[in-house]
Chains A and B, each alone.
Chain A
């Protein structure tokens, strides 16, 4: 069990490392990401990708190579249907719109499942067929991008705050999936995806399981379509291809096996976030007219290389089975959190090269922090600095002699290193995160939000002013 779970989780190392690097790059290049509106709009932009990836994952886990390439066109289909019906004043209220979106998604997926079960055609053919048919009908419904989303949706996409309904949808979807993984149905589904014959002979009702997977996928597509409609607040019949490519890439990056049976919501989430960050970082470079080409090139290359990585991972996993991806996540999150805090609280955004380099390493970071009075202020007494004053300073840090400071710093670093190493080893053999890490991650997130809220509009304005 220990070996297995370790090997399975090794797939997560790739997106985790990528996320750490990309988040740092994104934050340094465009500090407005870590303001409240910045994060809010980031969540809104990322939500459709995340939900579409979940939708794709549900059917992919069911095996037989059920990579539902039609997920993008289906999303676009629901999107244009909502916009079109809203334009005709037929379906405008929230509840009917939700019912409509989820209903279309589920209906289509049930049809898909029935074709696979009854007609017994390869699922990929059904998916391609659906892709073609839906792309065509999307253009019939809405000839070119346009139209308006329902009015109650328009302020969803504004991204003024983090706590938008879109975040609620994403959280509910993720939570729902986590609950779903606890059921017997999910284990049956995974077993079927891994080996359908074995599942059949051990009494799993495979047709029911497959149907269930598709229903869940349909629900997620419906939610993704609602988030997408809120994001662009209009209809786009041509969105399908790009969304499919992004979702498939996210899925592969997140370590979900395209042949079925292996996959986790953490992986899908991390993969989708990585893809969003890649798009974000690329957009900060401002390639101008060739922006979309660069994005295509990047997505394509990442898709291929992450597929090739899946070949390499089992070999790597044998050698680093003591490394827990979750522990790596904690360590990297701390580093990235440091960078975020640094950037978010920097009144005028100027990064000295030495500081930027030092930030890459937590140990160097701490060592640097001790002698520098200013940095101590910045990292331990955030509200005072952010409110613009020289203000109250933790007296403990200053009343020490240099020797004591070095001694304390060394001790702190030693404790940290030992703790981290211990955590790596312990976490590597557990199938799930321990309670402590959940609390730790929660605390990190809350701290980030509190900081952002405290640093407030001043920092946001300064950061926004920095990006022309």
Chain B
């Protein structure tokens, strides 16, 4: 597809609310942010205005360690989204060291060769319009 005809990846961003903004800002700065409850220590993602365990409002954003493991993976052979017309592309479902499951890109090569439960690390890639997204890669790459 002609680059000029592509819809921007940024069109997939949600309307950002006050409590979610630190995640999206962090992503564009190349940081994967999760929430930590200062009352009970629970770490969570996706975010909530309160701790999902104890309902405390003392939830703060912290940068994830970037260590993860591969929970599952899929490869899209049908183009569902206008900014992503080129298939196949793969998505990893990764378990962060902090606990939550997070989805991110996975290269076609890694999709084929990296087994479930393998150790991963977080990286960030620039998409065609400059919007950063998460990519998971094997820890030794």
* Chains A and B are bound partners: no
Residues of A within 8 A of B (CB): none
Q: Which residues of B contact A (CB under 8 A)?
A: none
